[in-house]
Chains A and B, each alone.
Chain A
Amino acid sequence: MFERYHIETKPAPLLSPVVSKFKIIRQENCINCGCCLRSCIYDVHQRLTADPRRMADPEHHLCKNCFRCIQECPAQALTKIINPDYRTLGNNYWRNELISRIWFEAETGRIPVLGAGYRGKFGGAGFDGMWTDLSEIVRPTRDGIHGREYINTAVDLGKKLPRLSFNAEQTLDVTLPPIVEIPLPVIFNPVPLPESFQPLQESFIRAASKLKTFAMTPISFLAATQNYNAVIPRLTSETAEIFLSECNRSNRLPLIVELDYEPKNTAALWSRLKKTWPNLIISVRLPFQPGVEKTVVALTQQGAEVIHLYADQEGKELNTSQPRFLKELVRSVHLSLVEKSIRDEVTLIVSGGIAAAEHIPKIIICGADLVGLDFSLAVALGCRMCVKCSWTDCPARLNKITTDWATQRLLNLMGAWRDQLLEIMSAMGLREVRRLRGETGRAIFQEEMEKEIFSDKFSG
């Protein structure tokens, strides 16, 4: 029977105190008149329970920035500042508003909805200089997440043959390569996270299992895990033996493994694994770096079925002083495969710098098949991207979290992100995320628009 894919979300509030954006300051000239209590509809201001003659400290995290208490205070005793902790949250790429949005999504599983219009910058570098298209009227089907028609977010991991051939008896004359379908274009890639995150590996695997997708997993975790169908063990030529012996010992085999690309050894290891287990899907992991297009084309021509390309945590190219951004990198790799007519023969996983729901459809439009999430997983669990990673004194208290709670936060984040993917797809009038791949004609790029609209009129 047809089963509709559904992500079960339920509230899972943060363990550490929320870093609120605003701080209300009650100055010494407060006359405790209670005017603020009456004007605030969000219960920020309350009287002290111990001494009801006095006002309590404001509940900053409830403040929604309406300015009424400040404007109505008869003594002008209230003012507001941006919380210094909020200001230091995150960094240039993982901006504080992205972090608080992920927290909201991981807590509630909901799409952030607000009134008033857009508040941010016009465009900008990276993903901000890109808009997705919509279809105004000519649309066979769609009704958004509330609607009647199903939008499929499933993608395949594996190789597709360029053509099928049949023998004289009209039966298939080729062996179909192994392929796995996952119901959302996301895998978990906690690899770049600091070592200290390792105790959370079980949560990543469990959440991936519930989502019917995969989590990259160090080999050391294989023996312990129950969810063998949700792991992608990560191997190098050095650790391959451990993996082989573990598989023989437990008599279990994952569906996919990932090899770190080593120009000298990868081909041999690849053949060895394929010879032992022809149905094992093998992904090759390599960095976005100058010349990556050539490597990807060469690997694909040699038969690679899945290639995982990673950028740094800000979506930038590695090993160069003039790094390109993820968006340009993926477009370039995608196009070089298209030019050789081999794009469908390989699945591209792209990771590094995926920090918001909209980054997923955008990078797929640029040419990825699916994304790998890294630091967004940590942020979902409360990480503040403070960089001083210490397991024992983590300010976000990651050392205190339980697997159940962490799993729920990850499910919530994915629920919210998938719903937002559906919003984007439904606006575009697409029913299949597979058809989104490489559809740059259904996107608007800032540099192209500025050239088209403004260049012949303006200099500079």
Chain B
Amino acid sequence: MLPEIKNAPERFKNQLAKYLVLRNPQCINCGTCAVVCPYQVHQRPAGYKRMSQPVHERCIGFRCLKNDFCCVHHCPRQALKLELNPLWETLGDARWPADLLKATWLQAETGEPTSSGLAYNYQTGQSGGGFDRLQFKNTDSSPVKINDNQVDTSLQLNKRPFGPKITIPIPVYGGGMSFGSIGLATMLARAKAAQAWGTFISTGEGGYPEELAPYDNHIITQVATGLFGVSERSLQRVRFMEFKYAQGAKPGLGGHLLGDKNTPSVAKFREAVPGTSLFSPFPFHSVYSVEDHKKHVDWIKAINPNILVSVKVSTPTDIDMVTVGSYYAGAHIVHLDGAYGGTGAAPEIAKKNIAMPIEYAVPKVHRFLCAEGIRDEITLIASGGIRTALDVAKVIALGADGVVIGTAELVALGCVRCGNCESGRGCPRGIATTDPELEKLIDADWGAQRIINMYRAWLKYWLQLLKKLGLTSFKELRGRMDLLEYGTREMEEEEKIQI
């Protein structure tokens, strides 16, 4: 049973839009525009004489000027004008351009894929490389007709002969975000969505509050280098744990919670002094070899023999060897966190410059594991810069089994990627904050619904894509790099022209 889609509109009054439809005083409120526009940009509520403000976000932009039904042409007084919203370029960045943010917001609101008829480009970002240059080849539709119910999107998390067998219905679970980096409402929203989907979310380092107890079956608890919030009980409550060796956004630098966000409630779980900056120093000082790492894994299995063990590592040049080491140590999952992932706070220098992007790491590891003959015994999870339903499919085609999503879930909650999560009171939009006042901006049920909706939309993209490729499961897509093409320079040129 899929979780139900319910409409979950944005919290704020004015929606950010790519185009502006401007109405000048010449307007005689004749209502022609409301009749011709099929996108309901123009509305006149029943019983009112005057037109409402245009709903800018629904407008499809300049290409509508070619259409017969375009309001600008039909207005008898030439009172309407279309222009690009100057605000649009202040939103987003190369990795998450405004279009991608907006498309994700719309998916979170409606649960539907962003219609290609709309103005928002959901295909790629503007980073000019990696996922933004990789595309599925334009193949003819599959010769065999496949129905939705024949497509299997599930992921078996444990491929080894020992440990619990857990399968999740979509190849995605939620990435580690600690209590402290995000607030309780956001945590609950993610946990509720994970429960509805039958998947998991990671609570990051720092323990997790009692309020999450009803969702224990869908919680991943993290053991990171600072061991904040780790106790026997926290490991026994859940079915799934992850070791965090490194984090893609700040590989080799450990964790970092600035003092302002270390409020008394956060400090309690971390057994720390409120208001002090908390560093989770890199690396595990008890692990200097694969044997040490095995000892760690054994230690967890002694505390909870029935727990799924994931090892989260960043992407150094010897990532293939690290993966094999984790296999030897008895981990079920190796989770590669690429360089361009999200973070609550990281030095800017670390985000770009240390360790390789996930697009390089996944094929490298996949090939190595195949050559070693152990590819089908280990679950390879990718994360770090995977933004969209299409990125998920691309990274699976590069060789991953599944994906961890962090930032996209926050975008579903209304994140604009302003990057102020780390300082002062934290997120001004209430998502990544433990400030008692700002935290109230998020309602957990509303947030859960937004995340549920986003994944419903993603599922539709996946079904459509797999059917088109003639595949019946993500298992068949894994490692199929032959289905991808790597855009050449011309593609970039094209992008430039579009801009």
Contacts from A to B (Cβ < 8 Å): 22, 40-42, 64-68, 70-74, 76, 79-82, 101, 111-124, 128, 130-140, 142-144, 146-147, 356-358, 362, 420, 423-424, 426-429, 441-442, 444, 446, 449, 452-454, 457-458, 460
Range of interface residues on B (Cβ < 8 Å): 35 or more
Q: List 24 A-B contacts (CB under 8 A).
A: A66-B429, A68-B429, A80-B87, A113-B258, A113-B345, A114-B419, A115-B344, A115-B346, A115-B427, A115-B432, A116-B421, A117-B385, A118-B340, A122-B128, A131-B357, A136-B252, A136-B319, A138-B289, A139-B283, A144-B253, A356-B349, A358-B353, A362-B353, A426-B253
Could you tell me the distance in whole angstroms from the C-beta of A414 to the nearest C-beta in chain B? 15
Q: In the complex, are the beta carbons of B322 and A137 less than 8 A apart?
A: yes
* Bound CA–CA A80/B86 (angstroms): 7
B293 interface hit (Cβ, 8 Å): yes
Q: Are A424 and B354 in contact (CB under 8 A)?
A: yes
Q: What is the CA–CA distance of A119 and B101 in the complex, to the nearest angstrom?
A: 13
Stretch of B11-19, B61-69, B161-169 contacting A (4+ beta carbons < 8 Å): B11-19
Given the contacts A420-B349, A424-B354, A134 and B94 also touching, CB distance less than 8 Å: no
CA distance A128 to B284 in the complex (A): 30
CB-based contact B14/A72 at 8 Å: yes
Contact B322 A146 (CB under 8 A): no
Q: Are A74 and B416 in contact (CB under 8 A)?
A: no
Q: Shortest CB–CB separation between residue B188 and chain A, in angstroms?
A: 21
A302–B384 Cα gap in the complex (Å)? 51
B283 touching A136, Cβ below 8 Å = yes
Q: Which of A114, A122, A426, A442 contacts B317 (CB 8 A)?
A: A442
When chains A and B are docked, how far (Å) is the Cα of A446 from the Cα of B127?
A: 14
Are A123 and B348 in contact (CB-based, < 8 A)? Answer: no
| A22 in contact with B90 (CB, 8 Å) | yes
Known A138-B289, A444-B360; contact A146-B279, beta-carbon cutoff 8 A: yes
Say yes or no for B420: interface residue by CB 8 A criterion: yes
Contact A143–B281 (Cβ < 8 Å):
yes
Residue of B nearest to A104 (CB): B348
B253 engages A131 (CB within 8 Å)? no
Interface flags, B407-418, vs A, CB<8A=1, else 0: 100000001111
Which listed residue (A128, A134, A429) contacts B314, Cβ 8 A? A134
**Is B195's beta carbon under 8 Å from chain A?**
no
Q: Out of B128, B287, B407, which one reaches A116, CB within 8 Å?
A: B407
Cα A452 to Cα B90 in complex, Å, equals: 37
Cβ-defined partner of B322 (8 Å) among A116, A123, A136, A358: A136
Closest residue on chain B to residue A429 by CB atoms: B252
Query: Which of B29-37, B151-159, B233-241, B478-486 contacts its partner?
Result: B478-486
A120 to B246, CA, bound (A): 21
Set of chain B residues within 8 Å of A139, measured between Cβ atoms: 283, 288
Q: A41-B438, A121-B94, A441-B317 are in contact. Are A71 and B12 (CB under 8 A)?
A: yes
Set A71, A113, A143, A446: member contacting B348, Cβ < 8 A: A113
Which residues of B (388-445) have their CB < 8 Å from a CB of A? 407, 415-425, 427-429, 432, 438
Given contacts A66-B428, A454-B486, contact A120 B94 (CB under 8 A): yes
CB-CB nearest 6 A-B residue pairs: A122-B129, A115-B421, A427-B252, A119-B93, A71-B12, A134-B252
From 215 to 233 in chain B, residues with beta carbon under 8 angstroms from any chain A beta carbon are none
CA distance A144 to B250 in the complex (A): 12
**Inter-chain contacts of A67 with B (CB < 8 A):** 16, 91, 416, 418, 429
* Other contacts beyond A117-B342, A362-B353: 15, CB < 8 A: A73-B13, A111-B349, A113-B256, A114-B420, A117-B385, A118-B339, A118-B340, A120-B95, A128-B352, A131-B356, A132-B355, A133-B317, A137-B293, A139-B288, A143-B281
Is A427 a contact partner of B90 (Cβ separation < 8 A)? no
Nearest residue (CB) in B for A426 is B252
B104 at the interface (CB under 8 A from A): no
How far is the CB of A138 from the nearest CB of chain B, in Å? 6
Contact of A136 among B95, B314, B341, B357 (CB under 8 A): B314
Contact mask for chain B residues 348-367; partner A; CB cutoff 8 A; 1 contact, 0 none? 11111111110110011000
Complex Cα spacing A416 to B385, Å: 27
Question: Please, what's the 1-or-0 string for B314-343, where 1 marks a CB less than 8 Å from any CB in chain A?
Answer: 101111001001000000000000011111
Asked if B342 and A114 sit within 8 Å, CB to CB, the answer is: no
Tell me the smallest distance from the CB of A298 to a CB of chain B, in Å. 35
Are A427 and B354 in contact, CB atoms less than 8 angstroms apart? yes
Residues on the B chain within 8 Å of A118, using CB = 95, 249, 339-340, 351-352, 385
Contact residues in B for A116 (Cβ distance below 8 Å): 342-343, 407, 415, 417-419, 421
**Do A457 and B253 touch across chains, with their CB atoms under 8 A apart?**
no
A79 touches B87 (CB 8 A): yes
Chain B residues in 8 Å Cβ range of A143? 281-282
B109-131, CB < 8 A from A:
127-130
Most chain B beta carbons < 10 A, residue from A73, A112, A119, A426: A119
Residue pair B425, A41 in contact (C-beta under 8 Å): yes
Q: Is the CB of B90 within 8 A of A81?
A: yes
Shortest C-beta distance, B144 to chain A (Å), equals 25
Q: Enumerate chain A residues within 8 angstroms of B251, measured Cβ to Cβ.
A: 134, 427
**B313 CB within 8 Å of chain A:** yes
Listed residue (B256, B353, B360) with the most chain A CB atoms within 10 angstroms of its CB: B353
User: In this complex, what residue of B is CB-closest to A458?
Assistant: B486
For residue A112, which residues in chain B have a CB less than 8 angstroms away from its CB?
347-349
* Interface status of B174 (Cβ within 8 A of chain A): no
- B447 at the binding interface (Cβ < 8 Å): no
Identify which of B14, B89, B90, B349 contacts A73 (C-beta below 8 A).
B14
Whether the pair A65, B416 counts as a contact (CB closer than 8 A) is yes
- Judge whether B470 is part of the interface by a CB distance below 8 angstroms: no
A453 and B364 form a contact (CB under 8 A) = yes
Nearest CB of chain A from residue B296's CB, rounded to whole Å? 10
A137 and B346 form a contact (CB under 8 A):
no
Contact B418 A64 (CB under 8 A): yes
Does B207 have its Cβ within 8 Å of any Cβ on chain A?
no
| Distance A111 CA – B415 CA, assembled complex (angstroms) | 24
Q: Would you call A138 and B364 a contact (CB within 8 A)? A: no
Indicate if B26 sits at the interface (CB-CB under 8 A). Answer: no
Q: Are A64 and B428 in contact (CB under 8 A)?
A: yes
Name B489's closest neighbour in chain A (CB-CB): A460
Query: In the assembled complex, which residues on chain A have CB atoms less than 8 Å from the CB atom of B288?
Result: 137-140
B79-99 CB contact bits vs A (8 Å, 1 = yes)?
Answer: 000000111011101111000
B498 contacts the other chain (CB 8 A):
no
B418 touches A424 (CB 8 A): no
Q: Does B428 lie within 8 Å of A42, measured CB to CB?
A: yes
Do B422 and A114 touch across chains, with their CB atoms under 8 A apart?
Answer: yes
B94 touches A424 (CB 8 A): no
How far is the CB of A107 from the nearest CB of chain B, in Å?
15
Decide if B349 touches A70 in the complex (CB within 8 Å): no
Question: Which residues of chain A are within 8 angstroms of B322 by Cβ–Cβ distance?
Answer: 136-137
B132 within 8 A of A: yes
Which residues 436-465 of B sit at the A interface, judged by CB distance below 8 A?
Answer: 438
B87 with A81: CB separation less than 8 A: yes
- The residue in B85, B279, B344, B384 that gathers the most chain A C-beta atoms within 10 A of its C-beta is B279
Known A120-B352, A131-B354; contact A115-B422, beta-carbon cutoff 8 A = yes
- A423 in contact with B317 given A22-B90, A72-B12 (CB within 8 Å): no
A444 cross-chain contacts in B, Cβ below 8 A? 317, 355-356, 360
Q: How far is the CA of A293 from the CA of B115 in the complex (A)?
A: 57
| Separation of A443 and B204 alpha carbons in the complex (Å) | 29
Of the residues B12, B343, B482, contact of A115 by C-beta under 8 Å: B343
A117-B249 contact in complex given A134-B316, A143-B281, C-beta closer than 8 Å: yes
Rounded to whole angstroms, the CA-CA distance of A358 and B339 in the bound complex is 15
Instruction: Verify if B276 is at the interface (C-beta below 8 Å from A).
Output: no
